[in-house]
Structure 1
C-alpha cells in the first residue's frame, strides 16, 4: 500500500480522520455542554433566525439585547443566595467592631449560627444584615471586600470557590450570543456592586452591563480624596417588577431574549415577550438533585411557580437541567 506524501499510509490517514472528525465537530460546536434537546434547538433556531440578514426575523445588531438573571440562572443559589452567605460572613468579620450585635437580632442569630432564629427574622432581618454589611463605606471599598471574600470563601457542599459554581451551559450560551452580535446584560435582584466584583472575569460581562439592586449613595470630598459613599438605604430593588423598570432606565431598549429561573424573573420575561417580532424567553429549571439541586414551587430560594405555569402556557423554553445539560459546572469532566 502506497504511503502519502506525508509519510502516512492511506489506511493510517483514514484512521486519523476517524479520530479527528469527532474532535473537530466538538470544537466547532458552540454549545457542547448542551445535549441535543428541545431547548438547545429552540436557542439555535432563534439565534440563526434573528441574525440572518435579509430573513423575515432579522434583527439589527444594535437591537440584539439579551438579559439574564444571575442567582440560579448563571450560577447556583443553594443552600442560600451566595450574596447572603457573604453578608453573614461579613457580620462575623465585623463583629469585634460592633459588640452590641451579640445581643441584637438578627446579628445575634448570625454570630451564634442559630438558623431557626435567623429564619424567624424574615425579610426584615435579612435587610438589616445586608444594610449593615453593604453600606457605610465607599463603592471601591465594598467591591474590594467582595473580591476578597470571593477569593477565599468556599461553597459548603462542593468546597469550590463560588465563582466556580457557575453553569457551563450558560457560559457557552453567553459566548454564543456575543459571537452572533448580541449584547449580554445581567439584570438581577443581587446588589449591583457585588456582581460587578466578578461578572466581567467570570461571565465576560463588563460592569456597565450589570444591573442590580442599588443602595443610595453620595459623592464625598474629604480634603481632596474623592469617593462615592454607600448609604444604608436601598434606592431600587431590582427584583420582580423592578427588573423591567431597570431595563427601561439603563438599557433603553427592550430585550429580544431573556433568561431567568424564578418568579422574581417573571416580569422581565413578560416585558421581553411583549415586544414586536421574534422573541425568546427561557427558564432554567432546577431538576438535577445529583449534580446540583432539585427545587421549584415550594423552595424559599429560587421559588418557581407562577413563572413555570406561564412558561408552559405560552410555550416559553423551560430548560430541564437534568435532562438537557451534559455538564453543569466547568470543573466537571466533559
Structure 2
C-alpha cells in the first residue's frame, strides 16, 4: 500500500517546491508582481539596508474590492437586505422609509437611492437587537447559502486568489496581516479567519453602538441602534493608530476610501509600499473606477503612481482571479 502513496507525495513535494520558487503563482510576471516581491525580499533580508524587524512588519488591507468582490453592492449590504426582509415579514412596522422598503423587497437600486445615509439606515435596522454571538452565527449561516445576484457564484467563494497568495506570502515572511475596512467589524470577524487566515483580533472595521447586558443570567454584548465609528477614509488611519499603534509598512486598498490609509502609512520613515487593486477586467470580474457607485477610484489613479504606489491592473497583472 505505501508504494501507492509515493506519487501523491511526489506531487505534494513538487507543489511545495513551486510555491517556494514562486510565492505568487496567480500573478503574471509583470512589474506589479516584481515590485511586491522585491519589497518583501528587501525588508526581510538582514543584509539589506531596508531590513525591517518582524515586529515592525505590519501589513493592512481593505476588504471590499481588495480581498473579495464588491459589485453590484457591498456583500454586507446584501446580507442586511436579506435580514431586513425576514424582520419585515414578522413586523412590517420596521419599514419606516422608502429606502428600507426597497431593501426589504430586494430592490438594490431603490435601496441605494438613499446614498451612504440610506446604506447605514438599512444596516442599522437589520443588525441591531442581536447579540454579537447570534449576529455572527447568522452571518456564517448566511454565507453558507448566499449566492451572488449577478454571477450565481457562492459569495463566500468570491475571494481574490492573488490576494490570498499575497496574504500567505507576507505571513510566511514574518508579517502580521490585518484587515482595515469600512465594513462592519462584527460582520468581517465572522468569516475573516476562515477566508483569509486573519484572526478576529486583527480585524478593524466600522462599529455600531453596543451595550453590555445580562440576559437570562448570561453576560452578553448586544448590538444597539446607532453608529459608534466609521472606518473609512480618514477614519482608517485613526482606526489603525487606535488598534495597532504603529504605521504599517505595507498597505493594500482599491478605492479612494483607502487613500488616507495609503497616504499616512507610506509617509512614514523607512521602506514602505502602497498597493491599489484597479478593477479593469470586465470579462472575469468587473471594470470600474472613477464613476463607480462603490469602490470609486479617482484620486488614487491620479496620484498613486507619483507617490510610488503599485497600481495592480487586474486584467493584465492577475493570471487568475477566483480560487
TM over 0.5: yes
Structure 1 distance, partners of 2:217, 2:95, is: 37
Matches within 5 A, 1:186-201: 186-201=179-194
RMSD: 1.8
Matches within 5 A, 1:199-214: 199-214=192-207
* Contact map agreement 1:105 1:125 (CA 8 A) in 2: no
Q: Secondary structure at the match of 1:106?
A: helix
Deviates more, 1:91-100 or 1:196-205: 91-100
Shift of 1:227: 0.3
Which residue number corresponds to residue 120 of structure 2?
127
Shift of 1:121: 2.2
Q: Secondary structure at the match of 2:29?
A: coil
Deviates more, 1:102-111 or 1:28-37: 102-111
Pairing partner for 1:147 from 137, 140, 149 = 140
Which residue number corresponds to residue 311 of structure 2?
318
Matches within 5 A, 1:101-250: 101=94, 104-250=97-243
Runs of 5+ consecutive residues of structure 1 not aligned to the other structure: 1-19
Structure-2 change in CA distance of 1:62 and 1:22 (3 Å): closer
- The structure with the larger Rg is 1
* Contact map agreement 1:297 1:305 (CA 8 A) in 2: yes
Q: Secondary structure at the match of 1:75?
A: coil
Shift of 1:23: 9.3
Structure 2 distance, partners of 1:159, 1:267, is: 34
What TM-score does the superposition give when structure 1 sets the normalisation length? 0.89
Which residue number corresponds to residue 40 of structure 1?
33
Shift of 1:120: 2.9
Shift of 1:155: 1.0
* Contact map agreement 2:32 2:311 (CA 8 A) in 1: yes
Structure-2 change in CA distance of 1:102 and 1:232 (3 Å): closer
Shift of 1:25: 3.9
Structure 1 distance, partners of 2:108, 2:39, is: 44
Say how many residue pairs are matched.
311
Shift of 1:101: 4.4
Structure-2 change in CA distance of 1:133 and 1:102 (3 Å): closer
Shift of 1:230: 1.1
Shift of 1:77: 0.4
Residue 280 in structure 1 maps to residue 273 in structure 2: yes
What TM-score does the superposition give when structure 2 sets the normalisation length? 0.92
Structure-2 change in CA distance of 1:108 and 1:41 (3 Å): same
* Contact map agreement 1:101 1:108 (CA 8 A) in 2: no
Shift of 1:170: 0.2
* Contact map agreement 2:233 2:259 (CA 8 A) in 1: yes
Q: Secondary structure at the match of 1:72?
A: coil
Structure 1 distance, partners of 2:142, 2:257, is: 26
**Per-residue CA distance 1:15-43 (angstroms, 9 max, x = gap):** xxxxx989954663211000101110000
Shift of 1:122: 2.3
Structure 1 distance, partners of 2:217, 2:62, is: 38
Pairing partner for 2:256 from 244, 260, 263 = 263
Which residue number corresponds to residue 87 of structure 2?
94
Pairing partner for 2:59 from 66, 89, 92 = 66
Which residue number corresponds to residue 13 of structure 1?
none
Runs of 5+ consecutive residues of structure 2 not aligned to the other structure: 1-12
